[in-house]
Amino acid sequence: MRHVISVLLDNESGALSRVVGLFSQRNYNIETLTVAPTDDVTLSRITIVTKGDDEQVEQITKQLHKLINVLKVCDLADAPFVEREILLAKCRAATPEIRAEICSLTDIFRGQIVDVTSELYTIQMVGSSDKIDAFISTAGKTIELIEVVRSGVCGIARGERALRA
Amino acid sequence: MEKLSGAQMVVRALEDEGVEMVFGYPGGAVIDIYDALYSAKKLRHVLVRHEQAAVHAADGYARCTGKVGVALATSGPGATNCITGIATAYMDSVPMVIITGQVGKPLIGSDAFQEVDTVGITRPIVKHSFLCSSAAELPLIIKKAFYLASTGRPGPVLVDIPKDVQNPRNLFDYEYPKEISMRSYNPTRLGHKGQIKRAVKLLAEARKPVLYAGGGIILANASEQVRALAAKFRMPVVSSLMGLGAVSGHDEKFLGMLGMHGTYEANMAMHHADLVLAVGTRFSDRSTNNVSKFCPEAKIIHIDVDPASISKTVRVDIPIVGSIDMVIPQMMGDIEELGLKPAADGLADWWSQISTWRQKNCLAYDRSSSLIKPQAVVEAVDRLTEDPVVVSDVGQHQMFVAQHFKFDKPRKWLNSGGLGTMGYGLPAAAGAQAALPGAQVVCFTSDGSVQMNIQELATCMEYRLPLKIIILNNNALGMVKQWQKLFYEGRLSQTCSPEYISSLPDFVKLAEAYGHVGMRITRPDELEDGLRKAFAMKDRLVLVEVLTDPEELVYPMTINGGAMCDMRLNDTETTL
């Protein structure tokens, strides 16, 4: 089962390494991880995508909560939530046909072309991980992808639910 | 406001925290702290002979007093030598603050002399750690360190202080915080009312209950409350290795230790129970055997201050997160309020079943042997001492003590349960004796374990710590040898070779070389008198080497992969 865990923690040096260390120490898996300060600059927010059964994820959230720097932990997948990931993909755009193909695919997936050289286009795309996966597998068939970078998932609960200090 | 340097602040903050004693070893990155210690009025420093021993000694100090133990070491090798001690304390939830020096901030990350990433290396084995970046924040960090170490589920907290932060030329305002609160740390003290109601109802209905006592009871100083609850329902009590002493070993309701080397009656009672009340324990693999076969008929109530310990290995029916010293009185209150009565027949059927299990006499051993049996030594020490603090190292001797010594009170049994650290015994005993100068401290150890921190005999001499060290010398690394005999077709690899045996030191001379008294007991008929003589030397450290039967194995022993009721009872008999 895929879980999206949100963690609110002190924005101080060493705090992130405690979280990452916990995952390797206890043999939990990390599929993606994003981290950045929140509107309150003393706090950071981490979103971790992990796989595990309910018991494993219960342990993960408990162990995360036990870290002294961690204020709040929640499994977003418990209720409706929004998740987004950013993709930046550099691809070969050598011929007019390929350039047209890139523009068309990018349009279909509601992406943008954010950098252009005579030979290369860079595509930016925002969406769920599924959508990004779909783009990469589709694009891979007709376009030569030179470099792909994904941000990892960040997520937020729908509706009233909010993770605040 | 008073102005102090970082180094002076460390000493003053420890004094203001009420610390009486710190165990440490000087070095380049803490030389300023040692300079400040030189003129300390209240704080006493105990110089060990190896940093690992400083941490074990602080650990022994903490376990026997309930106070936070403090260790001090320099950067680099000083810090890495602390690792085993810190991990030992972490696994057994011992409240401790470890202060390490670090290279100056400008040098951090440059592979400077005696630099290691101490915070990084210790991260998985501390409750929390701090890298102090300026002297001005030292008082708050030290306050937090003690608060974290001693509250909730206790544990070791590390404070790493770069050398420039200690600089005696830079003075800062010093005021030690009186109170502390941390927005991200609020351990639950009171248990959930609804869960407690459900729990006490189950307790009153149970026909075959067992109270499974863990070390958390001792950490929470809740021994009296737990004893009262057990008495109220006339509940059989079993104990984890760490819980020994929480309930008296002399109590008729006490069935002994459970688990891998637990008693037959304790393991049978657990397996057949209809209700297990687990208090302050973490269902370690050494206790449960195969978790999928664990207590098949029992509802399980689990009280623990650490939510992450609940349903970690064994799914429980009623989890209660809270401090045991709060939760048990809450339970007693509900029992009163709901008018719950103990079973009218005093659980007669259950007790009669238990007494048949007891008749197995699973801890019996050959008392007529011409060789000294290790069990006999433990029993003799129990007979000849009054209310001692018993420290043990790790291995067969540790299990013999756990099985045969009847611990009456909490904080009288110090051993490395979770990590199983050979070499723990002697320094921890030294720490306990330093903490309790008038107490009788007995350290059980072995030819293997004692050599892992033997240098502490010098510390014991310097501070005149009159330990009684009992070496159960079986000419072997016995526990591994036992496994090799049972599971490796007797291929005794590196555990008792003639070369190992002939290379053992003369322990009597060794004790004497350090200025202590050494004795050797070789025959059963010398045992009682020899020990008596040793204990009579009240102000001397006496090292007693007892030559024990090298072939004696620790039984019962649960059968790997089985349920708790699956045990080897001796060399030939199993329960299967």
- pLDDT at residue A165 above 90? no
Q: In what order do the strands lie in the sheet with B69-73?
A: B44-47, B21-24, B69-73, B96-102, B156-162, B128-131
Residue A46 lies in a domain: yes
A65 and A93 co-located in one domain: no
What digits encode the pLDDT tens for the residues B64-119? 999 999 999 999 999 999 999 999 999 999 999 999 999 999 999 999 999 999 99
- B247/B112 Cα distance (integer angstroms): 51
How many C-alpha atoms does B325 have within 13 Å on its Cβ side? 13
A73 and A88 inside one domain = no
Q: What is the pLDDT of residue B517?
A: 98
Cα(B383)–Cα(B450) distance, integer angstroms: 24
Residue A21, pLDDT > 90, answer yes
Is A163 within a domain?
no
- Does the residue A10 lie in any domain? yes
Q: Give me the amino acid identity at B162.
A: P
Q: With contact defined as beta carbons under 8 Å apart, do B555 and B267 qualify?
A: no
Phi, psi (degrees; rounded to nearest 5) at A73: -135, 135
* Number of other residues whose CB lies within 10 A of the CB of residue B109: 10
Closest CA to B399 of B550, B528, B547, B240: B240
Last residue of a domain, one of A78, A109, A125: A78
pLDDT of residue A154: 96
Interface of A with B (CB under 8 A): 9-10, 13-14, 17-18, 21, 25, 55, 58-59, 62-63, 65-66, 68-71, 165
Residues A23 and A86 in one domain: no
Residues A70 and A87 in one domain: no
Please report, to the nearest 10 degrees, the dihedral formed by the alpha carbons of residues B534, B246, B355, B278 taken in order. Answer: -150
A162 inside domain:
no
Confidence of residue B374 (pLDDT cuts 50, 70, 90): very high
Q: Is A96 in the same domain as A63?
A: no
3-state secondary structure of B424: coil
b/e A41-60 (16+ beta carbons within 10 angstroms → b): eebbbbbbbbeeeeebbbbb
Residues of A in contact with B312 (CB under 8 A): 59
Distance separating alpha carbons of residues B103 and B162, to the nearest angstrom:
5
Domain count, chain A: 2
Contact between B307 and A25 using a beta-carbon 8 Å cutoff: no
Minimal C-alpha gap between B315 and chain A (Å): 9
Asked if residue A96 and residue A44 are part of one domain, the reply reads no
Catalytic residues of B: 51, 113-114, 163, 479
Q: Tell me whether B503 touches chain A (CB under 8 Å).
A: no
> Closest partner residue to B183 among A25, A55, A71, by Cβ?
A71
For the stretch B50-79, pLDDT in tens is 999 999 999 999 999 999 999 999 999 999
Q: Give how far A45 is from chain B: nearest CA, Å.
A: 14
Q: Is B129 on the interface with A (CB under 8 A)?
A: yes
Evaluate the omega torsion of the peptide bond into residue B556 and state whether it is cis, within 30 degrees of 0. yes
Cα(B76)–Cα(B528) distance, integer angstroms: 47
Chain B: closest CA distance from residue A14 (Å): 9
* B312: nearest CB among A14, A21, A59: A59
- The dihedrals phi and psi of B500, each to the nearest 5 degrees, come to -60, -45
pLDDT of B200-241, one tens digit each? 999 999 999 999 999 999 999 999 999 999 999 999 999 999
Mutate to test the interface with B, among A68, A163, A164 (most CBs of B within 10 A): A68
- Would the CB atoms of A18 and B123 count as touching at under 8 Å? yes
How far is it, in rounded angstroms, from Cα B265 to Cα B489? 29
pTM: 0.97
Domain stops at, among A47, A78, A109 = A78
Tokens representing residue B62 in the block: 């903490």
Question: Based on the domain organization, do A87 and A51 belong to the same domain?
Answer: no
Can you tell me the mean pLDDT for B113-127?
98
Q: What is the pLDDT, as a whole number, of residue B73?
A: 98
Q: Is the pLDDT of residue B453 over 90?
A: yes
Whether residues A105 and A129 fall in one domain = yes
pLDDT tens-digit profile of A133-146? 999 999 999 999 99
Q: Do B308 and A71 make contact, defined as CB atoms within 8 angstroms?
A: no
- Mean residue pLDDT of chain B comes to 97
Both tokens assigned to B464: 């005149």
Inform me whether the C-beta atom of residue B194 falls under 8 Å from chain A C-beta atoms: no
Rounded Cα distance between B460 and B514, Å, is 9
The CA distance from B375 to B356, in Å, is 23
Are residues A67 and A87 located together in one domain of the fold? no
Query: Do residues A14 and A74 both lie within one domain?
Result: yes
Residue-level pLDDT at A37:
97
The reply to whether residue A66 touches residue B306, judged by beta carbons under 8 angstroms, is: yes
A146 in a structural domain: yes
Identify whether residues A90 and A51 lie together within a single domain: no
Place of tokens 């600089």: B167
pLDDT at B403: 98
Per-residue pLDDT tens digits for B380-439? 999 999 999 999 999 999 999 999 999 999 999 999 999 999 999 999 999 999 999 999
Residue A159 lies in a domain: no
Q: What is the dihedral of CA A115, A116, A122, A128, to 10 degrees?
A: 60
Residues 6+ apart with CB under 8 A from B85: B51, B52, B53, B54, B55, B56, B58, B59, B71, B421
Q: Under an 8 A CB cutoff, do A68 and B183 touch?
A: no
Give the model's pLDDT for residue B479.
Answer: 98
What was the ipTM of the complex prediction? Answer: 0.93
Asked whether residue A86 falls in the same domain as residue A65, the answer is no
The proportion of chain B whose per-residue pLDDT surpasses 90, expressed as a percent, equals 99
- Asked whether residue A136 is assigned to any structural domain, the reply reads yes
Domain assignment present for A160: no
Per-residue confidence (pLDDT) for residue B327, from 0 to 100: 98
**pLDDT for residue B355:** 98
Instruction: Quote the Cα angle for B61-B67-B68, to 5°.
Output: 85
The Cα–Cα gap between B284 and B427 comes to: 25
For residue B447, is pLDDT > 90?
yes
Find the domain containing A108 and state its range. 82-154
Cβ contact B124–A62 (<8 Å): no
Of B120, B123, B307, the CB nearest to A62: B307
Counting residues of chain A whose pLDDT is more than 70, the rounded percentage is: 100
Q: Report the C-alpha gap between B252 and B230 in whole angstroms.
A: 11
**Residue B364 contacts A where some CB pair is shorter than 8 Å:** no
End position of a domain, from candidates A78, A113, A136: A78
Domain of A109, CATH number, reads: 3.30.70.1150
> B308 and A10: CB-CB below 8 Å?
no
